[in-house]
């Protein structure tokens, strides 16, 4: 496609007076977008999810009108991407290049879609030494058919902050797409806890790529909570680049009839004496399907490191299926690393015992599910968010 035709197609999808390098990146990505096929996703043996029904041309992000509600500590700066080029241009260039990078054989139509049609997002800047006990809350109620956005978090040295990103849609079964990327840069001794909650209604297709880099002594905690939508693909990665950095990933998911989850969480240890802790816990009912892939990688120079991952799934009903794929890649001998996996059904004896104490079967199942997921939900440091998550799970169980 000629450059002038690409410019015409991309008109109206820009982020204000954006830099020339981004416009060029869009044109290159748009060419790839046109040439690449829609991907298919496999779930276990012989289970294939076809997402070709998503018409990316009809789900036009240029029509997007939704704003994100923001609540933040006054010491933390939250800037729309349209206004951030002058103050954080270099960091944005690096973050956007990183989220769209990768070998061509790893390129996908959805990755190219994000690079070509990005037209929304935020930069969250946590200044040097600021330690906030008030979480920055981002609330998105997506009416638009499509949203393509990027959140960049810049945590300066010695800073501490929590961010809660909650997205939902109207309950009208209309097809909607969100193609999201999140980048966290935590400098030395900074601490960031990012909670992402996907609560889309039926007809929602959510694709999210989350990446973080931790400097020396820095701490990054991801909580990735998926409780809605028809199809979700969520990839969460942390790179521990400085000595004594730590990375924690918590994955929570609940799926009912017709829901499909493709989830990945990984941590790479690049520096010595770094630690990682990856835990995933989910409940599936009806004919819900999930695949969870967990990776801990210890590089050859990353000596004296510790890492552990554990994946657990609870199935309710005979049609729900879950696959867990734990992966350990160890390039040196001076490390401690392990994994565990558990997939099982609700204990019928436990249900009978609880029923004998006066609970209905529905109440008993609800308590079992709340107990199973509750410990990870309680790690979210905002009571209102915890309540919203548990209420949605209770509604789906009922």
> Is 368 within the bounds of a domain?
no
Give buried/exposed letters for 373-392 (b at 16+ CB in 10 A, else e).
beebbeebeeeebbebbbeb
Q: Is there a domain that residue 321 lies in?
A: yes
Enter the pTM of the model: 0.91
DSSP H stretches of helix in the chain: 3-10, 20-35, 81-100, 109-117, 348-356, 361-377, 383-397
In a domain, 97, yes or no: yes
In a domain, residue 190? The reply is: yes
Q: What is the DSSP letter of 358?
A: T
358 burial class (0-12, 13-18, 19+ CB within 10 angstroms)? Answer: exposed
Is the C-alpha dihedral spanning 90, 16, 148, 249 positive or negative?
positive
Is residue 226, in this structure, part of any structural domain at all?
yes
pLDDT digits (tens, 9 = 90+) for 323-358: 998 999 999 999 999 999 999 887 777 777 777 777
Total domains in the chain come to 1
Range of the domain at 249: 3-347
Give the phi and the psi of residue 147 in degrees, each rounded to 5.
Answer: -140, 130
| 80/327 Cα distance (integer angstroms) | 37
| Alpha-helical segments (H) within 150-246 | none
Q: Does 357 map to a domain?
A: no
Nearest to 251, CA basis, from 267, 239, 240, 275:
267
Local confidence band at 49 (pLDDT 50, 70, 90 cut-offs): low
Q: Does 117 reside within a domain? A: yes
Do the domain assignments include residue 398?
no
Distance CA 56, CA 368 (A): 40
**Percent of the chain topping pLDDT 90:** 61
What pLDDT shows up at residue 163?
Answer: 98
In sequence order, the 6+-apart residues with CB closer than 8 A to the CB of 164 are: 135, 136, 137, 138, 195, 197, 380, 382, 385
What is the reported pLDDT for 103?
A: 40
Q: How many residues are there in the chain?
A: 398
Greatest mean pLDDT among 15-24, 50-59, 61-70, 303-312 lies in 303-312
């Amino acid at each position: 496609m000629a450059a002038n035709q690409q410019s015409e197609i991309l008109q109206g999808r820009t982020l204000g007076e954006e830099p020339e390098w981004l416009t060029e990146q869009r044109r290159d990505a748009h060419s790839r977008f046109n040439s690449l096929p829609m991907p298919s996703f496999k779930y276990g043996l012989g289970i294939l999810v076809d997402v070709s029904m998503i018409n990316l041309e009809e789900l036009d992000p240029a029509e997007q009108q939704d704003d994100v509600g923001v609540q933040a500590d006054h010491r933390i700066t939250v800037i729309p991407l349209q206004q951030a080029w002058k103050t954080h241009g270099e960091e944005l260039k690096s973050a956007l290049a990183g989220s769209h990078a990768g070998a061509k054989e790893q390129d996908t139509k959805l990755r190219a879609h994000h690079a070509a049609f990005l037209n929304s997002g935020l930069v969250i800047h946590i200044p040097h030494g600021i330690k906030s006990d008030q979480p920055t809350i981002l609330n998105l109620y997506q009416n638009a058919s499509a949203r393509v956005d990027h959140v960049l978090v810049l945590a300066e040295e010695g800073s501490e902050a929590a961010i809660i990103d909650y997205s939902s849609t109207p309950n009208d079964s209309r097809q909607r797409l969100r193609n999201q990327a999140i980048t966290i840069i935590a400098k030395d001794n900074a601490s960031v806890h990012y909670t992402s909650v996907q609560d889309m209604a039926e007809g929602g297709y959510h694709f999210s790529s989350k990446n973080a880099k931790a400097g020396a002594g820095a701490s990054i905690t991801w909580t990735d909570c998926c409780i809605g939508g028809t199809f979700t693909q969520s990839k969460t990665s942390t790179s521990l680049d400085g000595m004594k950095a730590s990375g924690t990933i918590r994955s929570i998911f609940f799926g009912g009839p017709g829901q499909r989850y493709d989830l990945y969480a990984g941590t790479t240890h690049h520096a010595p004496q770094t630690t990682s802790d990856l835990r995933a816990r989910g409940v599936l009912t009806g004919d819900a399907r999930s695949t969870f892939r967990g990776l801990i990688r210890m590089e050859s120079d990353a000596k004296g490191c510790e890492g552990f991952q554990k994946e657990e799934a609870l199935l309710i009903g005979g049609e729900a299926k879950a696959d867990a794929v734990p992966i350990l890649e160890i390039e040196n001998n001076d490390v401690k690393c392990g994994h565990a996996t558990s997939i099982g059904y609700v204990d019928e004896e436990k249900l009978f015992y609880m029923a004998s104490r006066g609970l209905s079967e529905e109440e008993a199942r609800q308590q079992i599910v709340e107990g199973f997921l509750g410990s990870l939900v309680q790690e979210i440091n905002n009571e209102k968010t915890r309540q919203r998550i548990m209420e949605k799970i209770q509604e789906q169980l009922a």
